[in-house]
């Protein structure tokens, strides 16, 4: 049903708690760098797959929650994931499109994804611990201190070493 795919990238916030002498230190979270988070790609992908199976009853994923009728018709499916790019772990939303989006529709989809990351699917996901060999981690698709959101082609066109410098930024929604 889909003719095209659009992938949307954004930084993640991956947090863990250091073990003190007796137990987990719940009051002092440690944020992992995107480079350190690469080690957990497989367990994060497994947790996302489990969450998607639990949450979605059809093949549309998050796109079923797009309220704009025209955009909902063009965005057939929308699923969260993570991916390593240039040695860093990124959050990715993959949209299956029935036809190309206009610039305005792309901006609307980016806003929808940011909302899902901060208050929708992402908020629920970040509250679930993910067990790793090193302990538990929590993954947030909303890194409010360092949030940017870009379609893949814009991200890859930017040749500057720090992709966050020239990025479209979005505040809280």
Instruction: Identify whether 152 is part of a domain.
Output: yes
Can you give the pLDDT at residue 70? 95
Cβ atoms of 141 and 122 within 8 Å: the answer is: yes
Instruction: Identify whether 167 is part of a domain.
Output: no
Instruction: Identify whether 136 is part of a domain.
Output: yes
Can you give the pLDDT at residue 168? 42
Instruction: Identify whether 171 is part of a domain.
Output: no
Instruction: Identify whether 12 is part of a domain.
Output: yes
Can you give the pLDDT at residue 161? 41
10-residue averages of pLDDT along the chain (173 residues): 87 81 65 94 96 87 95 96 95 96 96 94 92 90 82 71 40 38
Can you give the pLDDT at residue 147? 77
Which structural domain, as residue segments, surrounds residue 151?
A: 4-157
Can you give the pLDDT at residue 154? 82
Instruction: Identify whether 123 is part of a domain.
Output: yes
Q: Quick check: pTM over 0.85? A: no
Instruction: Identify whether 163 is part of a domain.
Output: no
Instruction: Identify whether 164 is part of a domain.
Output: no
Can you give the pLDDT at residue 2? 60
Q: Considering its fold, how many domains does the chain have in total?
A: 1
Can you give the pLDDT at residue 167? 39
Q: CB neighbours of 57 closer than 8 A, spacing ≥ 6?
A: none
């Amino acid at each position: 049903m889909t003719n095209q795919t659009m992938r949307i990238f954004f930084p993640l916030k991956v947090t863990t708690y250091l073990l003190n002498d007796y137990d987990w230190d719940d009051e002092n979270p440690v944020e992992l760098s995107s480079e350190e988070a690469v080690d957990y790609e497989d367990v994060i992908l497994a947790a996302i797959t489990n969450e998607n199976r639990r949450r979605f009853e059809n093949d549309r994923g998050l796109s079923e929650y797009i309220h704009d009728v025209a955009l909902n018709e063009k965005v057939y499916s929308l699923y969260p994931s993570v991916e390593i790019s240039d040695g860093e772990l990124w959050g990715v939303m993959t949209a299956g499109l029935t036809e190309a989006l206009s610039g305005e529709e792309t901006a609307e989809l980016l806003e929808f994804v940011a909302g899902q990351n901060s208050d929708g699917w992402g908020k629920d996901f970040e509250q679930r611990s993910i067990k790793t060999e090193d302990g538990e981690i929590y993954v947030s698709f909303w890194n409010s201190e360092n949030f940017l959101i870009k379609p893949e082609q814009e991200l890859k066109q930017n040749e500057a070493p720090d992709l966050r410098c020239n990025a479209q930024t979005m505040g809280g929604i």
